[in-house]
Amino acid sequence: MKLFKLFTFLISSVLLFANVSLAEKWDMALAYGAGNFHSANAAEFAKNVSEKSGGKLTIVTHPGGSLFKGGEIFRAVRTGQAQIGERFMSALGKEDPLLEIDSQPFLATSYSDAMKLYKASKPEIIKGLEEKGLVFLYAVPWPAQGLYSKKEINSVSDLKGLKFRAYNSATIRIAELTGMAPTKIEAAEISQAFSTGAVESMITSPTTGKNKKIWENGVKYFYDIAAWFPKNMVIVHRGAWNKLDAATQELIMKEAAVAERKGWDLSKKGNVADKKVLAAAGMQVGKVNSELQKHFQEVGATMAGEWKKKAGSRGASVLAAYN
């Protein structure tokens, strides 16, 4: 009987140790503050996976660049320093031109077109990430990008020399083609850049302007040009992914699909509500005149041609599928 009890104890201990050793913990790097809808959505995704995995996986979120800053997250996940992270896709154009497709000006100017473009580009984007040892989970767009400015903009000449916040190669190119002076600045540094006069204009979502209370930094105008719908994507290090059993991997993909649907809905709501917040704070919210609209569309056409050359046959096939 004593031997039987000892044997039972040893077996139980082995099984308990096996379960503990199978448990995984992932640190999720997020660039934006906890109150941002992307971060809040990611936190809910992490919570759902952690609770439903039966103790096999715990995902801990680190918002506001507290684990890695925005510009460091892609490298951190790729090298395994963070198991999972979220990154603004079009900031990674040097990694893969396909990641810039959602920031080509006036290619997709509505949510329906943005979803159509996403579906057309997703297979190639996933393929490119897999070649870098990454697993793609989901992507969520920001609201339509508008033009912010400290001063009123009524003509093309008003853009000349305007100090402009850029955050990827597409926004740098827009500045070059319109005569603005670009300075590359991450989202976390926007308020300081405007308050110090380092920049006086930018193209970004109404959500970013609301979150930063941009009106407190002397920004008075928001022009709703709906230039593009850039996305954030959530990616996982392949090594961390391969440590999970099939059931946990399936759970993650299921919850990623839920997070993606919810994220798109949150973005749509923010596209309306956040512009109202800007207006309520005293900002002038409206459209650009026909001259400026035509100018921006010409800039978009020029950039689309340049992007096609850079993206090669992959880009051409995606655009063909989109059109």
Q: Do the domain assignments include residue 138?
A: yes
Decide: residue 49, CB within 10 A, 0-12 exposed, 13-18 middle, 19+ buried.
Answer: buried
Q: Are 215 and 77 members of one domain?
A: no
Q: Is the dihedral angle over the CA atoms 4, 9, 10, 12 positive or is it negative? A: positive
**Residues paired with 138 in a beta bridge:** 234
pLDDT, position 80: 97
| Count of domains observed in the chain | 2
In a shared domain, residues 267 and 154: no
Residue 261 domain flag? yes
Domain that holds residue 113: 17-96+103-142+230-274
Pairwise CA distance, residues 71 & 86, whole Å: 11
User: What is the distance of C-alpha 61 from the center of its chain?
Assistant: 16
Q: How far apart are CA 27 and CA 82, in angstroms?
A: 6
pLDDT the model gives residue 15: 46
pLDDT at 182 (0 to 100): 96
Q: Are residues 59 and 130 in the same domain?
A: yes
Nearest Cα neighbor of 237 from 56, 26, 66, 94 is 26
Mean pLDDT split into 10-residue runs, the chain, 323 residues: 53 48 89 95 98 97 96 97 97 94 92 97 97 98 96 96 92 94 91 96 94 96 95 98 98 98 97 96 96 93 91 93 92
Residues 291, 313 within the same domain: yes
- The pLDDT value recorded for residue 9 is 54
CATH of the domain at 204: 3.40.190.170
Based on the fold, state whether residues 49 and 166 are members of the same structural domain.
no
The reported pLDDT for the residue numbered 196 is 95
Residue appearing with tokens 């000006």:
105
Whether residue 243 sits in one domain with residue 198:
no
- pLDDT for residue 22: 66
State whether 39 and 111 are in the same domain: yes
Query: Are residues 129 and 82 part of one domain?
Result: yes
- Please tell me whether residues 209 and 248 are part of one structural domain: no
pLDDT confidence of residue 18: 44
179 within some domain: yes
* pLDDT at position 110: 94
